[in-house]
Amino acid sequence: MHEANIIDGRAIARTVRDEVRTKVDAWTTRGHRPPYLAVVLVGNNPASASYVRGKMRASAQAGIAGDTLTFASSLTESALLGIIDQLNADPGVDGILVQLPLPRHIRAQRILARLSPDKDVDGLHVVNAGRLATGQRGFVPCTPAGIMALIDRSGISTSGKHAVVVGRSNLVGKPLIHLLIRKGTDATVTLCHSQTRNLARICRDAEILVAAVGRPGLITQEMIRPGAVVIDVGINRVDDPSRTRGYRLVGDVDYENARAVAGWITPVPGGVGPMTIAMLLSNTFLAAQRSH
């Protein structure tokens, strides 16, 4: 029976992280201080705290220095703006990451807009979104950058291919279309969302199909063109009494059945997720390098 090639995000992420480590070592050997990443965590969302711990651990392994600045969920928006101002002004800080989501009383767009675009290693400032959209050098959001690295490093060509992206968030879908249509990448893109008619038909035409929705099982086997590259960005918890924690993580793609049709596929976990952290490290090194 046909089985898709598995795109091993953990292995590719390890390679990217090792490459960052090598660049950081060369950088510090030349007499520079290590790159420094400040992570701002507001509130006590356990998932956010766990993501931040993962990011800090990976940073340390890559030779990147950093701190997590943790605040109670009662922190006011103006206090957080003040903290961002301080980090922007600190020449010892190369990258700033504000872990999302923020508590409801803090407007994330206002906070992100306050970041110095040149320290915005998550690539979410409107200036970086604009730079990406107009082909200028900036910071590319980590998840879409990671998706492109998975495709490139698997030796998959994109030129002239039809790529379908499902999900139009500022975090994933929208920046990804700019990366896919860049000169040199040259895909032809369709972007789908909750109001798209005939989603199944459009997906079935995709040579590269990216699902970034947050709905388990949305992409079924029938929606996949034989041989397609399937990138599953979704991270969903589904109940699983057989696990001690009571749930397991799945993507947006019906993985087991999709494998029988796709040419390439990313698993969840172990696909796009590890790449997001790897690209954060890569962006933080770039921030340090560009500030000199």
**Encoding tokens for residue 57?**
């651990």
The CA-to-CA distance between both ends of the chain, in Å, stands at 54
Determine the distance from the C-alpha atom of residue 134 to the mean position of all C-alpha atoms in its chain, rounded to a whole number: 20
Q: Is the peptide bond before 269 cis (omega within 30 degrees of 0)?
A: yes
Q: Is 55 labeled as catalytic in the residue annotation?
A: yes
**Which residue from 106, 206, 233, 279 is in contact with ligand NDP, where contact means CB under 6 A?**
233
Span from 72-80, 123-131, 164-172, 242-250 in contact with ligand NDP (CB under 6 A): 164-172
* 199 sits near ligand NDP (criterion: CB under 6 A): yes
CB of 174 to ligand NDP, least distance (A): 9
Number of Cβ atoms within 10 Å of the Cβ of 105: 10
**Encoding tokens for residue 71?**
């605040």
Query: How do strand 95-98 and strand 65-71 relate by DSSP bridges?
Result: unpaired
CB of 169 to ligand NDP, least distance (A): 3
Alpha carbons 160 and 118: distance in angstroms, whole number: 33
CB of 238 to ligand NDP, least distance (A): 12
**Which residue from 156, 235, 248, 291 is in contact with ligand NDP, where contact means CB under 6 A?**
235
Number of Cβ atoms within 10 Å of the Cβ of 82: 12
Span from 72-80, 111-119, 271-279, 283-291 in contact with ligand NDP (CB under 6 A): 271-279
- Using CB atoms within 10 A of its CB, is residue 281 exposed (0-12), middle (13-18) or buried (19+)? buried
CB of 183 to ligand NDP, least distance (A): 25
165-194: contacts with ligand NDP (CB under 6 A): 166-169, 171-173, 192-194
Per-residue binding letters, 127-146, with ligand NDP (x by CB under 6 A): ----------------x---
Q: Report the interface residues with ligand NDP, using CB under 6 A.
A: 143, 166-169, 171-173, 192-196, 199, 212-215, 218, 233-236, 272-273, 276
